[in-house]
Amino acid sequence: MKTLKVIKIGGSIIDQPKALNEFLVKFSKIKASKILVHGGGKLASKLADQMQVEVKMIEGRRITNAETLDIITMVYAGKINKNIVSKLQQHACNAIGFTGADGNTIVSNRRPIKNIDYGFAGDIKHINTKILKLLLETNITPVFCAITHDENGQLLNTNADTIASELAIAFASIYKTELYYCFEKNGVLKDVNDDGSVIENITKENYLALLEQNIIVDGMLPKLDNCFHAIDRNVQKVCIGKPEMLFNSTFNHTTIQT
């Protein structure tokens, strides 16, 4: 079985042109089949400011009204995605940018309204691997932004971490898939202020203890949910850390294990 690396990058790389470019140079040299998933960083909020559109957040989550969806579509699928694709081409990595609507690759349901109406937010229902597999076999690197669709003409804002884990899971039966969450820290830290305090391995057993000790909090909770979700569904390797972990096997990071 061939290896497929699904690599997610977020704001800590995307918001810094120099860091992004350095990352893309190294990423383009990865020989295995690969899919890049990127978040949006701060650019969407910046554009909303310029356009004087109010960014609504409830409990730390963006509420995607129609105006915000337009902004996200412009920034994620337009500016960020196409600039990444053109930089990858420069470094001889033949990439194609995707939303979930392209090739009908990622189908979502609009999140049902319970206590909060998240607006045009989508929860992934199904991934169609056929076109992506065909492209991967032709040495194309798909680059996904955090937008999916509902098959009824509606684009939907979808969490990039979840897109990465669901893509890894969808390909786990045809590739030896590896899932990498790149962010600004060396991994999951015992002490959030000490980048040396990386927890090298997290299993379901020590995870419960880490939760009880309030070591895993805030944004790390859904990220680890995505990690365990993937490792439970035949993804072979799940790692969290700085992008350097991709290019240097001895670079400190956290590995999630069954």
Q: In this structure, are residues 28 and 88 in contact, taking their beta carbons and an 8 Å threshold?
A: yes
Residue closer to a copy of itself (CB basis): 140 or 198: 140
121 is an interface residue for a copy of itself by CB under 8 A: no
Question: What tokens appear for 78 in the block?
Answer: 């337009």
Of 118-126, 145-153, 171-179, 209-217, which segment contacts a copy of itself by CB under 8 A?
Answer: 145-153
Least separation in angstroms between residue 217's CB and a copy of itself is: 34
Q: Cβ atoms within 10 A of the Cβ of 46, count?
A: 13
Q: Which residues contact 241 (CB under 8 A, 6 or more apart)?
A: 180, 181, 182, 183, 185, 186, 187, 198, 251, 252, 253, 254
16 is an interface residue for a copy of itself by CB under 8 A: no
Q: In this structure, are residues 19 and 13 in contact, taking their beta carbons and an 8 Å threshold?
A: yes
Of 67-75, 172-180, 204-212, 219-227, which segment contacts a copy of itself by CB under 8 A?
Answer: 67-75
Among residues 34, 87, 223, 242, the one that binds a copy of itself under rule CB under 8 A = 87
129 is an interface residue for a copy of itself by CB under 8 A: no
Residue closer to a copy of itself (CB basis): 84 or 256: 84
Among residues 32, 51, 174, 192, the one that binds a copy of itself under rule CB under 8 A = 51
217 is an interface residue for a copy of itself by CB under 8 A: no
Question: What tokens appear for 118 in the block?
Answer: 């998240």
Which amino acid is located at 109 in the chain? N
Write the CA distances from 213 to 32, 208, 216, 226, 227, integer angstroms. 38, 9, 8, 20, 20
- Using CB under 8 A, list all residues that contact a copy of itself: 47, 50-52, 70, 73-79, 81-83, 85-87, 89-90, 94-99, 101-104, 130-131, 134-135, 138, 140, 147, 149, 151-155
